[in-house]
Amino acid sequence: MLPQGVPMFAEAIVRGVPKTLDAGITSADLGKPDRAKAMAQHCQYVQALEECGLEVTALDADEKHPDSVFIEDTAVVTGRCAILARPGADSRRGEVHGIEEALSGRYENIERIGDPGTLDGGDVLQVRDHFYIGLTSRTNREGARQLSEVLRSYGYGASPVETNEFLHLKSGVSYLGDEDLVVAGELAASKEFGRFDKIIVDSREGYFANCIRVNDHVLVAAGSESAKALIAARGYEVIELEMSEFRKIDGGLSCLSLRLPGRDGGVYRTAAGGEP
């Protein structure tokens, strides 16, 4: 049985749904997102984070950037430092400016990925003190190298993971804690993840591998009874959330927030903290 009441995250930052949402980048053939529905789904998402005990800061929508609601891609946030990403899609690069201000009030140490590196936060999976960095169409080797170097300078480990099948690494893999890894498609056979207790999601339902452990709960996208049942069978308390409108523009649950551990005296410092 999993330990209950373990405070893994204390706060989250989300960003409003822009009026331009329907211009978001997509590879899906699911039609245009309906903004009103997307706003309702976003509201339920925020409520779920609050139900899990997080204090949620909502930044204003960034109308210039249709994909900006997917705030996770703009930064990597840890217990010791924050790293501003350099998104791989040109249309998303400007999203980072808006996040810098929010993080500068919270972090003593803010680092950044520089040209010619590209990196999306959705490609970065933290497992305790180690970070897996997906090499994808959004994150290049130089971006992964820069991030690894920064993370190592703060005492973390880092390693790259090749993936061709998913937009982002975390589109196909999520860490729940206690060595439980939800995984789909090619990542199920990845050597990098050989040591974990895998919950393998059917490749036809790969979208549902993107879920998030938030303290005592796991947030999952509604629509896959089998993925939900597999996760619940491991003893997790599941909260299902409707994601239909974000899925239309390739967005998953994790992309909608930056989740931060507790702060030491109001600010994230260099000293190693107890991380999940």
Exposed (0-12), middle (13-18) or buried (19+): which is 59, by Cβ within 10 Å? middle
Interacting residues with ligand GLY between 82 and 101 (CB under 6 A): 89
251 near ligand GLY, rule: CB under 6 A: yes
Of residues 61 and 230, the one with the C-beta less far from ligand GLY: 61
111 near ligand GLY, rule: CB under 6 A: no
CB 193 to ligand GLY: min, Å: 23
Q: Which listed residue (52, 81, 211, 255) is catalytic?
A: 255
> For the CA atoms of the chain, what is the radius of gyration?
17
Of residues 87 and 160, the one with the C-beta less far from ligand GLY: 87
Q: Where are the alpha helices (DSSP H) in 160-199?
A: 169-172
- Number of residues near ligand GLY (by CB under 6 A): 9
Q: ∠ CA 22-23-27 to the nearest 5 degrees?
A: 95
Exposed (0-12), middle (13-18) or buried (19+): which is 31, by Cβ within 10 Å? exposed
Instruction: Indicate the helix (H) or strand (E) that contains 153.
Output: helix 141-153
- The CB-nearest residue to ligand GLY is 25
Strands (E), the chain: 11-15, 55-59, 75-77, 82-84, 110-112, 124-127, 130-135, 157-162, 173-177, 180-184, 197-201, 212-214, 217-221, 237-241, 258-260
Cβ proximity of 201 and 208 under 8 Å: yes
The question of whether 65 is a catalytic residue gets the answer no
CB 51 to ligand GLY: min, Å: 26
Draw the binding track, 51-80, toward ligand GLY (x: CB under 6 A; -: no contact): ----------------x--x----------
Can you name the residues that pair with 221 across neighbouring β-strands? 241
The question of whether 81 is a catalytic residue gets the answer no
134 near ligand GLY, rule: CB under 6 A: no
107 near ligand GLY, rule: CB under 6 A: no
Q: Which amino acid type is present at position 42?
A: H
Contact region for ligand GLY (CB under 6 A) — 13-21, 31-39, 172-180, 247-255?
247-255
Q: Which listed residue (52, 81, 168, 211) is catalytic?
A: 168
24 near ligand GLY, rule: CB under 6 A: yes
Catalytic site residues?
168, 255
Interaction site with ligand GLY (CB under 6 A): 24-26, 67, 70, 89, 249-251
